[in-house]
Amino acid sequence: MKYKTTQQALDAMQALQETLAAYHHVMGVTYLDASTCAPKGSYECRGKAMGILSRITYDLMANPDNDEMLSALEADIDSLSQQQKREVEVLRKNYDQLNRIPAEEYVQYSVLLNDAEAMWEKAKNQNDFELFAPYLEKIVDFNIKFAGYYDAGKHPYDALLNEYEEGLTMETLDGFFGQLRSAIVPLLERIGEAEPVDNSFLFRKYPVEKQKEFAKYLMEVLDMDPNFCAISESEHPFTNGFNNKDVRITTHYYENAPTFAMYSTIHEGGHAIYELDIDDCYNFSTLSGGASMGIHESQSRFYENLIGRSRAFTSYVFPKLKELFPEQLADVDEEMFYRGVNKVEPSLIRTEADELTYSLHIMVRYEIEKMLISREISVQDVPATWNRLYKEYLGVEVPDDTNGCLQDIHWAGGSIGYFPSYALGSAYGPQMLAVMQKEVGDIYQDVEKGDLSKARAWLKENIHRHSALYKPGELFERCCGKFDAKYFTDYLTKKFSEIYDL
């Protein structure tokens, strides 16, 4: 026996977690650099370096000594703290899973993803799906193979879903999406017959330098401490948190669409606040970074929609916008702005979708992923299937793949089974809001004055500070009770009936 005492095993577990965290830190910074300012030609050598680093982290985690260490801790589990118990549980899951993936495949996959992201960007810019298709084929094959390693007893797509949201299945999602569809589609029809909202003023020329100033201002309003959180630019906005003292967000500025940077900054801000508000004890631990993708998305979308698109928030930030863009907004008032950022319009691009139709964009991706992983369609069928579903669900014609199936980075990054967590996250938020309002009173009276602290304090206490101490479903139920999508559909119905005077 390598570990004579529980303390020795605990020390080994701590050392392992800290070493892994250090590697993930370096790899995360490299990824951030690659997505923001690294020159295009750097991808090949970076791919090699990332391959070597992945190999090291693979070996660190798959090391048979870990099995012995975890077994020693499992034998004396009652003497451990709650955090240590959960660390053992998560590390055990990771260890067992990794040992089912051959090291060679693991490394090949991480090299593939590096190349695929560079190729995806090129394919998107040149509207050439064929450039990306061979990479996507390999990514799908790897995911099907990995799903078998994760849990051979499950349908491969269920096994992939479970990676992002423990316990999530196609059965649950089919029911959830069905419930959403039956509420959203009729509402959308009524909105289509109502007086349209004019948001043409949001497509005037808004100089990027001024937009950057506004993004900075938003980070102040969201109380994102610049000592611990920075913003940069990338093709596709994202958040990368290394620990609760170093969280990075990115955005993308479009001169003719200022609300893209505005709402992506608030969205990524929600992710960042989550990571900034995690308790110190989870730094350098396997429990860092939050509970799950779904819970993470619930926080980003809470900030983006429930706060950022509320009348209270838009009325607070509107004077600042007027100050930065006096000419562009000369003929616009607060109410026009609120209605403008909440305009419902079936569209092509997910990240620009309004709050109501957003879930329909997710449903398209969900259906395609299910079919790809079940081998009901091939990668070659993706563009046509995509276009057909957009027509069916959203009623829009997709003009090209750049505005169609090449728009998102997720598949290039290997994330298949991730998209449903966006819809789930959107639906968690309104239920959290209902409980929050009951417990701490109306948050919007404060939001109207630019004070977001009441909402943040509730989220920190109930969600953020715990990171991954609890499983996502358990974390949610501890503060909100059983999940019910009705909170979400009621919220949408009430909000949009008022805006469109239905």
- Residues annotated as catalytic are 268
Find the shortest distance in angstroms from Cβ 328 to Zn ion.
Answer: 28
Find the shortest distance in angstroms from Cβ 181 to Zn ion.
Answer: 22
Closest alpha carbon to 43 in 122, 96, 107: 122
Closest alpha carbon to 414 in 219, 228, 198, 147: 147
Closest alpha carbon to 385 in 393, 373, 377: 377
List all residues 6 or more positions away from 27 whose beta carbon is below 8 Å from its beta carbon.
Answer: 50, 53, 54, 57
State the DSSP H helix or E strand holding residue 265, giving kind and residue range, or none if neither.
helix 258-276
Find the shortest distance in angstroms from Cβ 434 to Zn ion.
Answer: 22
For Zn ion, which residue has the nearest CB? 300
Find the shortest distance in angstroms from Cβ 421 to Zn ion.
Answer: 9
240 binding Zn ion? (CB under 5 A): no
Q: What is d(CA 321, CA 265) in angstroms, rounded to the nearest whole number?
A: 15
SS3 230: strand
End-to-end CA separation in angstroms for the chain? 71
Decide whether 295 or 341 has the Cβ nearer to Zn ion: 295
Q: What angle do CA 164, 170, 175 make, to 5 degrees?
A: 115
- Of 54, 292, 299, 300, which lies in the binding site for Zn ion, with binding defined by CB under 5 A? 300
Find the shortest distance in angstroms from Cβ 296 to Zn ion.
Answer: 7
Q: What is d(CA 402, CA 390) in angstroms, rounded to the nearest whole number?
A: 14
Decide whether 62 or 219 has the Cβ nearer to Zn ion: 219
Decide whether 250 or 300 has the Cβ nearer to Zn ion: 300
- Cα 211 to Cα 208, 255, 315, 339: the distances in Å are 5, 8, 18, 20
Find the shortest distance in angstroms from Cβ 312 to Zn ion.
Answer: 22
Closest alpha carbon to 135 in 387, 411, 385, 368: 411
Residues in the interface with Zn ion (CB under 5 A) total: 1
Residue 317 phi/psi, 5-degree rounding, is: -85, -10
Decide whether 300 or 305 has the Cβ nearer to Zn ion: 300
Q: What angle do CA 273, 224, 358 make, to 5 degrees?
A: 50
Interface region with Zn ion, contact rule CB under 5 A, candidates 73-81, 295-303, 331-339, 487-495: 295-303
Cα radius of gyration rounded to whole Å, the chain: 23
Find the shortest distance in angstroms from Cβ 218 to Zn ion.
Answer: 16
Find the shortest distance in angstroms from Cβ 336 to Zn ion.
Answer: 28
Decide whether 328 or 426 has the Cβ nearer to Zn ion: 426
Decide whether 300 or 415 has the Cβ nearer to Zn ion: 300
Decide whether 143 or 300 has the Cβ nearer to Zn ion: 300
Q: Which tokens is 400 given?
A: 């090209």
SS3 298: helix
Q: Are 396 and 346 in contact (CB under 8 A)?
A: yes
Decide whether 243 or 300 has the Cβ nearer to Zn ion: 300
Find the shortest distance in angstroms from Cβ 304 to Zn ion.
Answer: 8
Binding mask 253-292 for Zn ion (x = CB under 5 A): ----------------------------------------
Q: What is d(CA 143, CA 414) in angstroms, rounded to the nearest whole number?
A: 8
SS3 84: helix
Decide whether 258 or 270 has the Cβ nearer to Zn ion: 270
Q: What is d(CA 160, CA 143) in angstroms, rounded to the nearest whole number?
A: 8
Q: Are 502 and 496 in contact (CB under 8 A)?
A: yes
Q: What is the 3-state secondary structure (H, E, C) of 383-440?
A: HHHHHHHHHHHHCCCCCCCCCCCCCCCCCCCCCCCCHHHHHHHHHHHHHHHHHHHHHH
Residues near Zn ion (CB under 5 A): 300
